Amino acid sequence: MKVAFIGLGAMGYPMAGHLAKRYDTLVHNRTAAKAERHAREFGSKAVGLEQTAEAEIILTCVPVSRDVDELAHALLPHLRPGTLWVDHTSGEPELAKQTAALLASKGVSYLDACLSGGVAGVVNARATVMCGGSEADFERAKPVMGSYAAKIVHVGPLGAGHAVKAVNQGLLAVNLWALSEGMAALAKQGINLGLALEVINASSGRSNVSENLFGQRVLSREFPNTFALGLLAKDMGICVKVLEAAGTPAPLLRQLREFFEVAKHEVGSADVDHTAVARLLERWAGVEIR
Ligand code: NDP
């Protein structure tokens, strides 16, 4: 089977690498040199955008849904009926439905297939995928996604994958912000943060942020950039749109979206790792979280 992967970023590059071990894999990237490097490293084939339409399954992983929609418009004249488009972008349910309708006009079906687990998750083929779309399309894509994911769940109709991911990102943001505030306070009081984290991780307040991110990225002072602060801020914007579409009360998550917009400006860059939020809170607190 021939597959095509568009968007060889922090996530896409290793994902397409896994695909190339199992399938005839075409790769396309806005900056072509990255696709050529991928071809040399994994034996994929670097192609122009038009040529990705030769694949039976086209996968995308780009920053936002608008980028996916632009790719769909650009590829539309070349697409063949029966093709399946699997979008791994953390995107917007409503925009994804528009893109899906556009693709359907050419007989191409679409799944919103959001990822979780970060770069390490895809590198180790342990990622989680939450999918919106038809059952038949999900079953068709599942073995392909199994190249880099260990848990692959069909969560509902079109847009449901994006919606579930947006809520997940809200929880990530809450945990990251709250733990940063708490650890800054403990640091100020001279408490050993390694011990504090150890005990929190054996207690009811633990989360992925406390169990993995905080020790590895903040206390270590490494802040490796694998998931940009700007992308999490974007996800918070989607989260609030999902909540607004439902019309349910969400005072905490709305507020937190604003916090992340402030953080982007205060930190001075959207391109740093999302854990830079801790750097901001330590600056405000006048203490280092280490
Ligand atoms: P990166 O910024 O590392 O990569 C983005 C990729 O998209 C690059 O290949 C870039 O090309 C390409 N791109 C950017 N803009 C456009 C455009 N307008 N048209 C076509 N291609 C474009 O992002 P990530 O890989 O980190 O994230 C991708 C998606 O996955 C995002 O929606 C993110 O929220 C989500 N995600 C990220 C996770 C992570 O841990 N990083 C975890 C889970 C989901 P170029 O090389 O030319 O810049």
Q: Best mutation site among 13, 31, 36, 62 for ligand 1, i.e. most ligand atoms within 8 A of its Cβ? A: 62
> By the 8 A CB rule, do 90 and 113 touch?
no
Domains in the chain, CATH or no CATH each: 2-158 (3.40.50.720), 163-285 (1.10.1040.10)
> By the 8 A CB rule, do 111 and 131 touch?
yes
The widest CA-to-CA distance across the chain, in whole angstroms, is 64
- The pLDDT score that the predictor gives to residue 165 is 98
Question: What are the pLDDT digits (tens) for 231-285?
Answer: 999 999 999 999 999 999 999 999 999 999 999 999 999 999 999 999 999 999 9
Rounded to the nearest 10 degrees, what angle do helices 160-188 and 276-285 cross at?
Answer: 30
Q: Hey, how many other C-beta atoms are within 10 angstroms of the C-beta on 190?
A: 7
For residue 116, the cross-strand partners are 128
> How many angstroms does the Cα of residue 287 sit away from the middle of ligand 1?
33
Residues 6+ positions from 175 with CB-CB distance below 8 Å:
207, 208, 209, 210
Residue type, 214: F
Question: What are the pLDDT digits (tens) for 103-126?
Answer: 999 999 999 999 999 999 999 999
Place 152 in a pLDDT band, splitting at 50, 70 and 90: very high
Q: Which residue has a Cα nearest atom 36 of ligand 1?
A: 90
From CA 257, how far away is CA 247, in angstroms rounded? 17
Whether 227 is in the pocket of ligand 1, judged by its Cβ within 6 Å, is: yes
From CA 118, how far away is CA 139, in angstroms rounded? 24
Residue type, 90: S
**ipTM exceeding 0.95?**
yes
Ligand 1 atom nearest the C-alpha of 66 is 18
Question: What are the pLDDT digits (tens) for 51-72?
Answer: 999 999 999 999 999 999 999 9
From CA 159, how far away is CA 137, in angstroms rounded? 14
Does the model's pTM come out above 0.95?
yes
- The pLDDT score that the predictor gives to residue 249 is 96
Question: What are the pLDDT digits (tens) for 69-93?
Answer: 999 999 999 999 999 999 999 999 9
For residue 127, the cross-strand partners are 149
Q: What is the arithmetic mean of pLDDT over 169-198?
A: 98
> How many angstroms does the Cα of residue 174 sit away from the middle of ligand 1?
23
Whether 29 is in the pocket of ligand 1, judged by its Cβ within 6 Å, is: yes
Residue type, 241: K
